[in-house]
């Protein structure tokens, strides 16, 4: 999908109409994704851009520091290069402020649209465990069950801690393993036993199943929403 770079508002040509064109092209693609029921990565992109514009609006001093510089020449003592920031007049700042004021309300509306899709999908997913949940559940399996097609998409998952300079949070990474078909002769329990035999390093794996009677886009919607529901449940019961 069409994306905007993180610094789209301050890089390249600083012109309101040009930035508006880039922004509206991104929004058009985002709307198309939402209409197709595809929530990610566009929802995360909208959140990221809204937070970025808010930071620029709250701290306008940060704007000038993002602009490139040009070499003016050597200093009088000829010991160092002299740089001049390309943002030298108020006109560029006015252009930036104008696009921020234009874009922020629209991004807020799109966030509401994305949140509504997320809530709708969440209400149509059922989360459960296969067998007894072990004490250690930072690694195991996730089954995504599309009830309409009887398909089961099996993922291996791992939860890890990620630390940044600002926060510390848990991240859930998944790796697709295989696709199965649920039937009277192939239950979730039998699928789990097959995985235990195949991957002996996990003799008593935590195994979750998320089922849906509706058909959602697997990678863009079903999987990411299921992961968030699963993480939320883990945090509630840990």
Residue 103 located in a structural domain: yes
| Residues 167 and 195 placed together within one structural domain of the fold | yes
- Mean pLDDT, rounded, of the chain: 86
What is the secondary structure of 42-58 as a DSSP string?
HHHHHHHHHHHHHHHHH
- Would residue 6 count as lying in a domain? no
Residue 1 within any structural domain of the chain: no
Indicate whether 143 belongs to any domain: yes
Confidence (pLDDT) at 170: 81
H or E segment and range at residue 90: helix 90-123
Give the model's pLDDT for residue 124: 96
For residue 229, with 0-12 CB atoms within 10 Å meaning exposed, 13-18 middle and 19 or more buried, which class applies?
middle
The model's pLDDT over 48-66, given as tens digits with 9 standing for 90+, comes to 999 989 888 877 655 555 5
User: Is-above-0.85 flag for pTM?
Assistant: no
- Rounded Cα distance between 187 and 209, Å, is 12
Q: Which residue has the higher pLDDT, 2 or 138?
A: 138
In a domain, 75, yes or no: yes
Last residue of a domain, one of 98, 122, 146: 122
Residues 130, 185, single domain; the answer is yes
- Domain identity same for 105 and 171: no
CA atoms within 13 A on the CB side of 78: 0
Q: Which one has a higher pLDDT value, 186 or 70? A: 186
Residue 131 forms part of a structural domain: yes
Other beta carbons within 10 Å of 49 = 24
Domain boundary among 89, 122, 155: 122
Does pLDDT of 69 surpass 80?
no
**Total count of domains within the chain:** 2
Domain interval for residue 32: 16-122
Q: Could you tell me if 98 and 112 lie in one domain?
A: yes
Mean pLDDT of 201-225: 95
Q: Is residue 37 a part of any domain in this protein?
A: yes
Same domain, 137 and 208: yes
Are 92 and 174 contained in the same domain? no
- Same domain? 131 vs 115: no
Residues 198 and 108 in one domain: no
- Mark whether 138 and 178 lie in a shared domain: yes
| The pLDDT value given to residue 73 | 46
pLDDT digits (tens, 9 = 90+) for 156-193: 999 987 766 666 678 899 999 999 999 988 999 999 99
Domain end among 122, 155, 174: 122
Residue 217: inside a domain:
yes
């Amino acid at each position: 999908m069409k994306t905007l770079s993180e610094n789209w508002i301050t890089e390249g040509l600083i012109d309101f109409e040009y930035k508006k064109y880039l922004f509206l092209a991104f929004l058009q693609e985002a709307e198309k994704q939402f209409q197709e029921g595809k929530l990610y990565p566009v929802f995360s992109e909208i959140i990221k851009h809204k937070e970025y514009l808010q930071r620029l609006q709250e701290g306008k001093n940060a704007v000038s520091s993002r602009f490139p510089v040009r070499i003016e020449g050597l200093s009088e003592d000829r010991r160092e290069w002299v740089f001049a920031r390309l943002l030298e007049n108020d006109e560029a700042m006015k252009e930036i402020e104008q696009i921020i004021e234009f874009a922020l309300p629209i991004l807020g509306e799109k966030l509401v649209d994305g949140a509504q899709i997320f809530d709708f999908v969440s209400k149509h997913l059922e989360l459960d465990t296969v067998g007894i949940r072990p004490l250690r559940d930072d690694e195991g399996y996730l089954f995504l069950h599309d009830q309409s097609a009887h398909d089961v998409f099996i993922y291996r998952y791992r939860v890890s801690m990620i630390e940044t300079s600002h926060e510390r949070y848990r991240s859930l990474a998944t790796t697709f393993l295989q696709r199965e078909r649920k039937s009277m002769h192939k239950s979730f329990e039998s699928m789990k036993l097959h995985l235990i035999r195949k991957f002996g390093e996990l003799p008593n794996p935590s195994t979750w199943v998320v089922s849906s009677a509706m058909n959602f886009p697997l990678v863009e919607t079903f999987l990411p929403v299921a992961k968030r529901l699963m993480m939320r449940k883990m945090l509630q019961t840990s």
